[in-house]
Amino acid sequence: MKDLFDPSAYQEILARIDRLTPDSKPLWGKMNVGQMLSHLQAPAAIGLGDVKLKQRLIGLLFGRIAKKKLFGDKPFKHNLPTDPSFVRDKTHDFETEKQKLKALLKRFHEGGAEAITKDPHPFFGKLSTEEWSSFSYKHLDHHLQQFGV
Tens-digit pLDDT profile for residues 109-138 = 999 999 999 998 888 888 999 999 999 999
Write the secondary structure of 77-138 as one string of H (helix), E (strand) and C (coil): CCCCCCCHHHCCCCCCCHHHHHHHHHHHHHHHHHHHHHHCCCCCECCCECCCHHHHHHHHHH
The string of pLDDT tens digits covering residues 2-55 is: 999 999 999 999 999 999 999 999 999 999 999 999 999 999 999 999 988 777
66 and 124 Cβ atoms separated by less than 8 Å: yes
CB atoms within 10 A of CB 64: 13
The amino acid at 20: L
